[in-house]
Structure 1
Amino acid sequence: MVMGNHCSKKTEKQMITKLAEQTYFTEKEVKQWYKGFQQDCPDGKLTEKAFAKIYERFFPNGDPTRFARLLFHVFDENHDGTIEFEEFIRALSITSRGTMEEKLLWAFKLYDLDSDGYITREEMSSILDSMLIMIGDTSLEHIDPKERVDQIFHELDRNKDNRLSLDEFLEGSKSDPRIVQTLSLHKIL
């Protein structure tokens, strides 16, 4: 029985069991994450603003606002403007413990800003720019996102249409691990 936004113990247990089956986390881990999520989000919903605040703690030298906004929209699977625990734990499972293919599918969603099934140079540049701004590390000033994007497109864009399909992205990323490193920029994802 659900009362407001709070789960009864039985429903909570069922949810935890279900999420442990659907993710790479054990029931104990899901329960720990749920407890922390409930402490941070007593109403059961993580807002975009609160999500950005979390990233501010991890990247105090930069401005994670733009990257957090882009990332938030991938976590928010049902596009209701908040991240519920189930969405949070599924995304965390993939990004932290998923297979290479799962991580790449998830990254494709992040880079495909308009969700049209393709990554354009502009979309990739936008993500890489937001990562650099978030890090705020002056030692990375030598990194030119446009050069990185050109390099990635040179290697992955087989049909030279200036956009990457999911197949091009997956095949190219799997065949060259340097591309995955370039896309994640110090394992931010």
Structure 2
Amino acid sequence: MGHNKSKLTPADLTEIADSTEFSEYEIQHWYKSFRKDCPSGILSLAEFKKLYGEFFPYGDASKFAEHAFRTFDKDNNGTIDFREFMIALSVTSRGNFHDKLQWAFDMYDLDKDGHITKKEMLEIITAIYNMVGSILSSNMSDGLTPQQRVDRIFSKMDKDHDEQITADEFSQAANEDPSLVMLLQMGYQTAGGDGGAE
């Protein structure tokens, strides 16, 4: 899909509808909103960080926004076009449990080697803590530090105790204890949101 198109072609519309859980009508509404916020037809990292900052005014969302941006930007070209935006939005807001888990795993797997290390998870969890700022205390009453939270998650997910979590371990632990996924999902739920287009 070209970056500078001012209108969606019927082919683009059909292709996005086939690749997402959105109707063509919903896609057209999202497109209007996307073009209003991104007149160029693409979303840069700076613009993405600004949007996250508006969602989380009481914390610092910039680091988490970088990680979310990486998972949205599937072609790794440094921008998010409307198609990439809609695919990510579809997974995060309407995807099934498995799709959401895969999306979360991809976010935590910073070097894309198929494993999540404690260092990788700590980077994301710390970014989430920084992003939610003062809201954190009311949402997480257990008082755990990012490192303690990572240690707790690893103790439940790292079944073979090799200090890394595979996609299978991630999925198995999440299926056994869905509460584990709540923190893992916190940041990307806002990325996609559950609301409709304006």
Which residue matches 1:90?
Answer: 87
Matched, 1:6 2:5: yes
Query: Shift in Å at residue 185 of structure 1?
Result: 4.0
Tell me, in whole angstroms, the C-alpha distance in 2 between the residues paired with 1:19 and 1:146: 39
Deviation at 1:138, TM superposition (A): 5.8
| Aligned twin of 2:16 | 19
Q: TM-score, normalised by structure 2?
A: 0.87
Provide the residue aligned with 2:60 in structure 1. Answer: 63
- Are the aligned partners of 1:120 and 1:162 in contact in 2 as well (CA < 8 Å)? yes
Structure 1 stretches lacking a partner, 5+ long:
none
Identity %: 41
CA distance in 2, matches of 1:155, 1:183: 14
Deviation at 1:34, TM superposition (A): 0.8
Match of 2:97 among 93, 97, 100: 100
User: Quick one: which amino acid aligns to residue 180 of structure 1?
Assistant: V
| Distance across 2 between alignment mates of 1:108 and 1:20 | 25
Cα-Cα RMSD? 2.0
Does the 8 Å contact 1:52/1:68 carry over to 2?
yes
What is the Cα deviation at residue 5 of structure 1? 1.8
Query: 2:124 aligned with 1:127, yes or no?
Result: yes
Aligned to 1:143: 144
Task: State the structure with bigger RCO (CA 8 A, min sep 6), 1 or 2.
Answer: 2
Give the corresponding residue for 1:77.
Answer: 74
User: Could you give the per-residue CA deviations for residues 109-146 of structure 1, whole angstroms, max 9, x where no partner exists?
Assistant: 00001111100001111101101111111652823111
Q: Deviations over 1:70-114 (max 9, x none)?
A: 110110000000001000000000000000000000000000011
Q: Structure 1 residue 44: deviation in Å?
A: 1.3
| 1:78 counterpart SS class | coil
SS in 2 for 1:161: coil
Report the TM-score, using the length of structure 1 for normalisation. Answer: 0.91
Distance 1:128 1:188, change over 3 A: farther
Q: 1:167 maps to which residue?
A: 168
Give the equivalent residue in structure 1 for 2:194: none
User: Would you identify which runs of 4 or more consecutive aligned residues in structure 1 move more than 6 Å?
Assistant: none
Q: Is the CA contact 1:118–1:163 (under 8 Å) kept in the aligned structure 2?
A: yes
The AA in structure 2 aligned to 1:182 is: L
C-alpha distance in structure 2 between counterparts of 1:175 and 1:101, whole Å: 13
Aligned mates of 2:61, 2:136 — CA distance in 1: 17
Quickly say closer, same or farther: Cα 1:137–1:26, change in 2 above 3 A.
Answer: same
Equivalent AA in structure 1 for residue 132 of structure 2: I
Rounded to whole Å, the distance in 2 between the matches of 1:146 and 1:125 is 6
- Alignment coverage as a number of residue pairs: 186
Task: Give the conservation status (yes or no) of the 8 Å contact 2:58–2:135.
Answer: no
Query: Does the 8 A contact of 1:71 with 1:110 survive in 2?
Result: yes
SS state of the match for residue 9, structure 2? helix
